[in-house]
Amino acid sequence: MALSRRLLPLFLRRGAGARAHLSTAAAAAPAASASEEEDEQSVTVKGVRISGRPLYMDMQATTPVDPRVLDAMLPFYLSRYGNPHSRTHLYGWESDAAVEAARARVAALVGADPREIFFTSGATECNNIAVKGVMRFYRDRRRHVVTTQTEHKCVLDSCRYLQQEGFEVTYLPVRGDGLVDLGQLEDAIRPDTGLVSVMAVNNEIGVVQPLEEIGRICKEKGVPFHTDAAQALGKIPIDVNRMGIGLMSLSGHKIYGPKGVGALYLRRRPRIRVEPQMSGGGQERGIRSGTVPTPLVVGFGAACEIAAQEMDYDHRRVSALQQRLLDGIRAQVDEVVINGSMEHRYPGNLNLSFAYVEGESLLMGLKEVAVSSGSACTSASLEPSYVLRALGVEEDMAHTSIRFGIGRFTTEEEVDRAIELTVHQVKKLRDMSPLYEMAKAGIDLKSIEWSQH
């Protein structure tokens, strides 16, 4: 694990700490002026200049690779580089053995049989195989899908694609806390329903759906239950048998593993069949053709093994950091709203709306913190987040949301710095907001009739 000890500081080093690594010649040189030193350490990307690399709090987008995962992967890039499907020599045999060991590690984390795990390029591909593959295989008898309005876009787009092929889809609303209404879900299932797809942990608001209850309903109705668990794997306990899950989509880079690899869980008993979405050499027992990328799969397996060992510790630590962040912001800023349930929530995802603040302006002001907005204000669309709108969040508040992502390598110092910068920027923007001034004066903004010019 020598490599791990060398790489770990790279995850923890921030800003001024990098100055400790200056060369002897640089240390002996005359001290530069403050402005010159700042210029040397500044970073300019896409026209935005910041004093250094921002602290990272966007763990729902991706996570850093754990150094222990990289240790496991490197031999399969440098010396054990055989194709796992080569059956005639040592290179292929050892790669194949490594792939099967990784498959067992992924299966162990979710209580599955290794034969039920199929490697893919990521959760998006898994969702496409699950949603389209099941419905196309059973197209003669099953013509209806049930899902929710807050699913990941790849699930919603797959459902819309099926609608173009003549299938029917029911998009269930969610309650104000982001949870699906189990009564509505049960009522929506029809005799010709072929699939129920509900995300385990929402990527925008972190809400954890009642998987076991949904699985029980689907089992009673005789309908396969699919869940997108990309944001849940390694963060909350998952048992596919206890939860009645028939298909599940998993991702490597959400649990400190490499990008470009995922896995589909596909139940064997009772057997669920899918129509493959890719033609080729028949790898992964015909479900997903294409050469299995051994280093990525090994890294995914290592990440799952580490998650199984450290999930409880990570959960306690992340919960404490989330509370520290929330308390720190609320102690200095009013009119802060938490989006989604706090009781049924993964603590590493904290989605907050700041009243009387425009989300894009807040994001631009937080250049030293890498966070995301719950709204689409940074994309080509000016529409607010469809997830927040499904919760019933008003459009102006949906536009002000910021998602803070906390993870395994997040430090207390980073949380405190994020609090400081967020509070400063919110207060600065509110000082410029006539709406905030009017609200503080007791004026009901909803009662005002705004004239249009």
pLDDT tens digits, one per residue of 304-341: 999 999 999 999 999 999 999 999 999 999 999 999 99
Cα of 154 vs its chain's centroid, Å: 13
Whether the per-residue pLDDT at 71 is higher than 90: the answer is: yes
Cβ contacts of residue 36 below 8 Å, gap of 6+?
none
Residue showing tokens 């410029």: 432
| Last residue in a domain, options 257, 289, 306 | 306
Whether the per-residue pLDDT at 20 is higher than 90: the answer is: no
Helix count (H) and strand count (E) of the chain? 16, 15
Q: Indicate the residue type of 352.
A: L
* Residue 4 falls inside a structural domain: no
DSSP element (H, E) containing 37 = helix 34-41
- CA dist., res. 155 & res. 128, Å (int): 7
The pairing of strands 336-338 and 262-266 is unpaired
Chain segment 232-274, per-residue pLDDT in tens: 999 999 999 999 999 999 999 999 999 999 999 999 999 999 9
Whether the per-residue pLDDT at 19 is higher than 90: the answer is: no
Mean per-residue pLDDT, 343-355: 97
322 φ, ψ to 5°?
-60, -45
pLDDT at position 358 = 83
Whether the per-residue pLDDT at 25 is higher than 80: the answer is: no
* Residue 61 falls inside a structural domain: no
Does residue 241 share a domain with residue 275?
yes
pLDDT at position 382 = 60
pLDDT at position 54 = 93
The domain in which residue 370 lies consists of 310-438
Does residue 245 share a domain with residue 375?
no
Q: How confident is the model at residue 32 (pLDDT cuts 50, 70, 90)?
A: very low
- CA dist., res. 83 & res. 96, Å (int): 8
Reduce the DSSP state of residue 89 to 3 states and report it: coil
The pairing of strands 168-172 and 225-228 is unpaired
Write out the catalytic residue numbers.
377
* Residue 379 falls inside a structural domain: yes
Does residue 347 share a domain with residue 272?
no
The pairing of strands 55-56 and 372-373 is unpaired
Q: Which residue has the higher pLDDT, 84 or 53?
A: 84
| Last residue in a domain, options 253, 284, 306 | 306
Does residue 369 share a domain with residue 355?
yes
* Residue 56 falls inside a structural domain: no
pLDDT at position 302 = 98
From residue 234, give the alpha-carbon distance in Å to each of 104, 137, 191, 255, 264: 15, 31, 35, 6, 15
* Residue 418 falls inside a structural domain: yes
pLDDT at position 451 = 63
Does residue 238 share a domain with residue 143?
yes
Q: Are 231 and 203 in contact (CB under 8 A)?
A: yes
Q: How confident is the model at residue 1 (pLDDT cuts 50, 70, 90)?
A: very low
* Residue 81 falls inside a structural domain: yes
Residue showing tokens 């937080």: 366
CATH number at residue 223: 3.40.640.10
pLDDT at position 37 = 55
66 φ, ψ to 5°?
-65, 135
Q: Are 224 and 194 in contact (CB under 8 A)?
A: yes
Q: Are 135 and 121 in contact (CB under 8 A)?
A: no
Give strand pairing partners of 349.
Answer: 405
Does residue 431 share a domain with residue 375?
yes
Q: Across all residues in the chain, what is the average pLDDT?
A: 89
| Last residue in a domain, options 274, 306, 338 | 306
* Residue 281 falls inside a structural domain: yes
Which string of b and e fits 406-426 if b means at least 16 CB within 10 Å? bbbbbeeebbebbbebbbebb
- CA dist., res. 346 & res. 344, Å (int): 7
* Residue 351 falls inside a structural domain: yes
Whether the per-residue pLDDT at 126 is higher than 80: the answer is: yes
Chain segment 134-176, per-residue pLDDT in tens: 999 999 999 999 999 999 999 999 999 999 999 999 999 999 9
Q: How confident is the model at residue 452 (pLDDT cuts 50, 70, 90)?
A: low
Does residue 274 share a domain with residue 243?
yes
Does residue 386 share a domain with residue 300?
no
Helices (H), 211-293: 211-221
Q: Indicate the residue type of 209.
A: Q
pLDDT at position 140 = 97
Does residue 209 share a domain with residue 129?
yes
CATH number at residue 410: 3.90.1150.10
From residue 6, give the alpha-carbon distance in Å to each of 11, 68, 95: 10, 11, 26
Computed on alpha carbons and rounded to an integer, the radius of gyration of the chain in Å comes to 24
pLDDT at position 44 = 79
Does residue 190 share a domain with residue 161?
yes
Q: Which residue has the higher pLDDT, 44 or 258?
A: 258
- Residue count of the chain, please give it: 453
Counting the structural domains of the chain, the total is 2
Chain segment 398-451, per-residue pLDDT in tens: 989 999 999 999 999 999 999 999 999 999 999 998 888 887 877 776 767 666
Q: pTM of the predicted model, to two decimals? A: 0.89
Q: Which residue has the higher pLDDT, 387 or 445?
A: 387
Does residue 286 share a domain with residue 366?
no
Does residue 395 share a domain with residue 270?
no
Q: Which residue has the higher pLDDT, 250 or 51?
A: 250
